[in-house]
Amino acid sequence: MVTIIGLGISSGEHLTLEGLRLLKSCDVIFAPRGALPEPLLRLAADFRDTSAFYHQPETERLLTEAVLAEARSRSVAVCTVGHPLIFDKPVAALKEACRRAGVPCKVLPGVSAVDAVLCELGFAADQEGFQARQAAHIPGTKIDASLPLFVFRCNALAAKAGLAGRFVAAVTKAYPPGHYASFVETAHVPRQVALVDSFPLKDLEKKLASAPAEATLFIPPLKKKKK
């Protein structure tokens, strides 16, 4: 049995009571060492640090093989930061691998970066909804400037030559240069203060170069013209 547990984004502070109960009962815990406080790491006699998996070119395969090797005879908890199924390809791949292998798999939700940014900005998702994209997917994607836009993983733009430039071009094509946006860095540990840096989009390229690694870009909708 595999249980994928969302830890939220505040070093164990967002762990649900259901998640805590399952951590106490499982045989093996897979988790990034820095994502769980030490008392939680000691809940299982067998702890496996997954931090190294996320710095390998074959993250999905390595994580899946390690988990399935244990799950055939033991109960396994796989902990992930944030919500397990929001922008986490290795976890999505693990869930599918469990299905193919006939291994029971349950997913427990966690507080995601989306939730945290909404709260930091005091933004209410009304009936019109909003857009959420990974930064690397913005080039070539049609942006609806009438809806709020949340852009995650802007730090990944540096991984491919020219991607940051195409990202800036796509965003500035959809909005006027004087339209204001914000980089939001939510609190990741208790008592940490969230940071909100607002700026006109004409400065996006410069701000992108200095934005915190975990910051989310929020672009409010263009105001509708009065008839």
Tell whether 119 and 100 lie within a shared domain.
no
Q: Does residue 157 share a domain with residue 59? A: no
158, 183: one domain: yes
Residue 151 within any structural domain of the chain? yes
Helices 59-71 and 89-101 meet at what angle, rounded to 10?
Answer: 40
- The reply to whether 92 and 137 lie within a common domain is no
Model pLDDT, residue 161: 87
Q: Which domain holds residue 32?
A: 2-108
In a domain, 133, yes or no: yes
Q: What is the pLDDT along the chain (227 residues), one digit of tens a residue?
A: 999 999 888 667 788 899 999 988 999 999 888 777 777 777 777 899 888 887 777 888 999 999 999 998 999 999 988 888 887 888 889 999 999 999 999 999 988 878 888 888 888 777 678 898 989 999 988 999 999 999 988 988 988 889 999 999 999 999 999 999 999 987 655 556 678 899 999 999 999 988 887 789 999 999 865 55
User: How many distinct structural domains can be found in the chain?
Assistant: 2
Does 227 reside within a domain? no
pLDDT at position 125? 74
Backbone φ and ψ for 173, nearest 5 degrees, come out as: -75, -30
- Which residue among 108, 130, 165 closes a domain? 108
Which of these, 78, 73, 17, 11, lies nearest to 44 by C-alpha position? 78
Cβ contacts of residue 97 below 8 Å, gap of 6+?
A: 64, 68
Cα 49 to chain centroid, rounded: 19
d(CA 9, CA 103): 28
pLDDT value of position 14: 83
Beta strands at 149-152 and 216-219: parallel, antiparallel or unpaired = antiparallel
* 121 and 169 assigned to the same domain: yes
Which of 108, 123, 142 is a domain's end point?
108
The answer to whether 28 touches 101, Cβ cutoff 8 Å, is: no
Please check whether residues 170 and 209 belong to one and the same domain: yes
* Residues 140, 92 share a domain: no
Query: Does the residue 226 lie in any domain?
Result: no
> Which pLDDT belongs to residue 127?
66
Q: What CATH number should be reported for the domain holding residue 199?
A: 3.30.950.10
Out of 108, 137, 156, pick the residue that ends a domain: 108
Instruction: Please answer whether residues 173 and 197 qualify as being in contact, where contact means their C-beta atoms are separated by less than 8 angstroms.
Output: no
Examine the domain organization and report whether 122 and 212 are in the same domain: yes
pLDDT, position 108: 94
Pick the closest to residue 14 from 151, 88, 116, 118 (CA basis): 116
Q: Is residue 74 part of a domain?
A: yes
CATH assignment of the domain containing 32: 3.40.1010.10
